[in-house]
Structure 1
Amino acid sequence: MFLGEYHHTIDTKGRLIVPARFREGLGDKFIVTKGLDSCLFAYPMEEWSALEQKMRSLPFTRADARAFVRFFFAGAAECEIDKQGRVLIPANLREYAGLYKEVVVAGIASRVEVWSKERWEEYNSNAASSVEEIAEKIVDLDLGI
């Protein structure tokens, strides 16, 4: 399980230090893809495989399902952590997420999210005002919260 928020910088070559607490969970190789909310999602291979299976069950005859699968898979890249604990984020993914200097790496249960610091702060500012309303809605999902 991935938990916590870590602030790092991305270097001019596009390398990002992966927090030590996340390295073992992600494994030697993992998948980074375009996430929702203009961030990146990183998945351990096992989680990615499970997600892939779920995506395969979406009806390919529906345009919205095809669009979502394309978005998620076409933007994906297999990444590795180097001996210094860094990962090279491909240029197209850095551009998508606006990763230029300061980044936030957040553990979100089964995945890791990588945000530009500015987008993370903006997202949190907006979400803070509605988190109680959101909590009320998801109580109906019987999550035990």
Structure 2
Amino acid sequence: MGEYKHNLDTKGRIIVPSKFRELLDEQFVITRGLDRCLFAYTVDEWSRIEDKLKTLPLTKKDARKFTRLFFSGATSVEIDKQGRINIPQNLREYAGLSKDCTVIGVSSRIEIWDSAAWEDFYTESEDNFEDIAEDLIDFDL
């Protein structure tokens, strides 16, 4: 949980908030997320997701597309002694990461956003928060 602002340095490194470092261990997986952000998972959570995605039917075009993009962008990262990770260029480009980034906790994953993109998403979603909640009523929330 939580929202933290951090800067991406010129080498593509970002500090992982200490609260998240405790949960992620020294090594974890990042990949392309939805809405042009990056998703980060513990190794255990990544294994669970991988097992679920393996069950998608190969005959479904969208399933093939999604798994290709999701897995081809995945990379294992390690937290250095300063609490930073190096985000590969292809993932920085995908998420449009510039200097100002926002790192948020979302249930079993962490998301890394370009701060301007996060603000746009947040503002747009906040205006519709009640409508979104109403649409999720079928999930017993």
Q: Distance in 2 between matches of 1:26 and 1:92?
A: 22
**Is 1:129–2:132 an aligned residue pair?**
no
Give the CA deviation at 1:4. 0.1
**Is 1:112–2:113 an aligned residue pair?**
no
> Which residue type is aligned with residue 2 of structure 2?
G
Give the CA deviation at 1:137. 1.3
Counterpart in the other structure of 1:21: 19
Tell me, which stretches of 5 or more residues in structure 1 are unaligned?
none
Deviates more, 1:125-134 or 1:14-23: 125-134
Counterpart in the other structure of 1:76: 74
Counterpart in the other structure of 1:8: 6
Tell me, which stretches of 5 or more residues in structure 2 are unaligned?
none
Counterpart in the other structure of 2:93: 95
Deviations 1:54-79 (A, max 9, x none): 00000011100000001100011100
> Which residue type is aligned with residue 10 of structure 1?
L
* % identical aligned pairs: 54
Give the CA deviation at 1:30. 0.5
Aligned residue-pair number: 141
Q: Distance in 1 between matches of 2:117 and 2:25?
A: 27
Coordinate RMSD, CA, aligned:
0.6
Q: Distance in 1 between matches of 2:57 and 2:100?
A: 39
> Which residue type is aligned with residue 132 of structure 1?
E
Question: Residue 38 of structure 1: which of 20, 33, 36 is its match?
Answer: 36
> Which residue type is aligned with residue 111 of structure 1?
R
Give the CA deviation at 1:126. 0.7
Q: Distance in 1 between matches of 2:30 and 2:102?
A: 15
